[in-house]
Amino acid sequence: MTAKVETTLRSPQAYGLARQVVDEIEAAGVWPTPLNFELWAHALGDPDGALAGEIKRLVAASEPFTEAVTDMLAAEHLPRSRLTEQIRDAGRVLDRELSSVSSVIAQAHKSQAAYGQTLDQAATSIEAAANGDGLRTIVSGLTTATRQVQHETESLEKKLEVSTQEVVRLREHLELVRRDAMTDALTELANRKAFDEHLAAACDHAESSGSALTLAVLDIDHFKHFNDTWGHQTGDQVLRYVASVIGRTAATPRFAARYGGEEFAMVFHHESVTMVEAALESVRKEIASRSLRRRSTNDELGAVTVSAGFAVRQTGETASAFLERADAALYASKRSGRNRVSCAERLPKAA
């Protein structure tokens, strides 16, 4: 499929296909981002393919192409998404290799220095013991050899210094690539993958250190209705707004992620229930207090609200069980009228 589209995009039909792609993107009501262009180019370039079929099905069902939907289509149908995974894996392997090269370099540093020192010491002790001319010659020969080795050591050290800087540079570059692969493009918060990894590591740490770990999940109230009324481009702006408030509250060492379509998660380390509840209440109140405007028409959109639920990790609890309890607290907030924060520990126990 890819090869076919790639060939068409370099053929006399290329501009016709590109124009058709733009028309279809506009008809579908999505932003002409590179990712959406790629999705529709593949669908139009291969009209009988699985991606084209899925897009037709969504159009027939009047399903909006929200960011979450196009992300899912890309993950399932675009080779590039698989490539991102491969780049991440390759990056990990390379990182590991670089670590071992770094330690070899450090070791070579040490042995070279030790070798120079040994020769120096040998020369000194022979010189002290010798009286005759013969021994003096040996000493002088040894001293010359020592100086040569020291000279070589210095030049090797310079080369190693350059290599070490290169390793550091590559590491930083890899870190940037990895961060990109862990970030949600719309909201710039951590994405689901990053959240899963962070939560698993945080659970391990909490288990071994016995420290407090709290997980909150937040969901925009009536988001579907909002999207249906104002269009999902405005819906995307709302996601960005809610994410910006959550992101500000969840500055490091806290952690925030876009966990699903309109669902967000926050992780609190070493914080009391009172502190977590106060942080979530401030997010909830700030979001509810602001009246948003539709950028294209300046229409008043009114306020959006969020519901939140949080849970304190129990000893031995797995990440998924922990998430389930935080989710249950979120649904308690939804059931009891939305725009509120609930704590899993305070929910009535199921019969």
- Which residue matches tokens 């391990």? 204
List the interface residues with ligand C2E, window 174-213 (CB under 6 A): none
Tokens of 51: 């991606």
Binding mask 85-124 for ligand C2E (x = CB under 6 A): ----------------------------------------
Q: Which stretch binds ligand C2E (CB under 6 A): 85-93, 117-125, 199-207, 293-301?
A: 293-301
Of the candidate residues 171, 224, 240, 269, the single one contacting ligand C2E (CB under 6 A): 240
CA-closest candidate to residue 325, choices 351, 300, 350, 288: 350
Q: Residue 285 interacts with ligand C2E (CB under 6 A)?
A: no
Of the candidate residues 8, 70, 237, 339, the single one contacting ligand C2E (CB under 6 A): 237
Sheet with 341-343: strands ordered across: 255-258, 263-269, 213-220, 306-312, 341-343
CA-closest candidate to residue 241, choices 179, 305, 181, 196: 305
- Which residue matches tokens 């009391």? 272
Q: Which stretch binds ligand C2E (CB under 6 A): 35-43, 59-67, 104-112, 237-245?
A: 237-245
Nearer to ligand C2E by Cβ, of 36 and 112: the residue is 36
Please tell me whether the peptide bond between 253 and the residue prior to it is cis, using omega within 30 degrees of 0. yes
Nearer to ligand C2E by Cβ, of 115 and 241: the residue is 241
Rounded least distance, CB 60 to ligand C2E, Å: 29
Distance from C-alpha of 154 to C-alpha of 346, rounded to nearest angstrom: 67
Of the candidate residues 241, 273, 338, 347, the single one contacting ligand C2E (CB under 6 A): 241
Nearer to ligand C2E by Cβ, of 39 and 243: the residue is 243
Q: Residue 292 interacts with ligand C2E (CB under 6 A)?
A: yes
Of the candidate residues 4, 295, 300, 321, the single one contacting ligand C2E (CB under 6 A): 295
Query: Which distant-in-sequence residues (6+ apart) come within 8 Å of 21 by Cβ?
Result: 37, 40, 41, 44
Q: Which stretch binds ligand C2E (CB under 6 A): 150-158, 238-246, 250-258, 275-283?
A: 238-246
Does residue 291 contact residue 325 with C-beta atoms inside 8 Å?
no
List the interface residues with ligand C2E, window 37-56 (CB under 6 A): none
* DSSP annotation of 182: T
Nearer to ligand C2E by Cβ, of 78 and 243: the residue is 243
Of the candidate residues 178, 294, 334, 338, the single one contacting ligand C2E (CB under 6 A): 294
SS3 200: helix
Distance from C-alpha of 161 to C-alpha of 106, rounded to nearest angstrom: 10
| N- to C-terminal Cα separation, the chain | 54
Kindly determine how many residues on this chain lie close enough to bind ligand C2E according to the rule CB under 6 A.
9
**Catalytic residue positions, numbered:** 262
CA-closest candidate to residue 2, choices 50, 34, 54: 50
Nearer to ligand C2E by Cβ, of 227 and 237: the residue is 237
The number of beta carbons lying within 10 Å of the beta carbon of residue 217 is 24
Of the candidate residues 26, 293, 321, 335, the single one contacting ligand C2E (CB under 6 A): 293
Q: Which stretch binds ligand C2E (CB under 6 A): 55-63, 120-128, 235-243, 269-277?
A: 235-243
Distance from C-alpha of 249 to C-alpha of 279, rounded to nearest angstrom: 7
Binding site residues, ligand C2E, CB under 6 A: 234, 237, 240-241, 244, 292-295
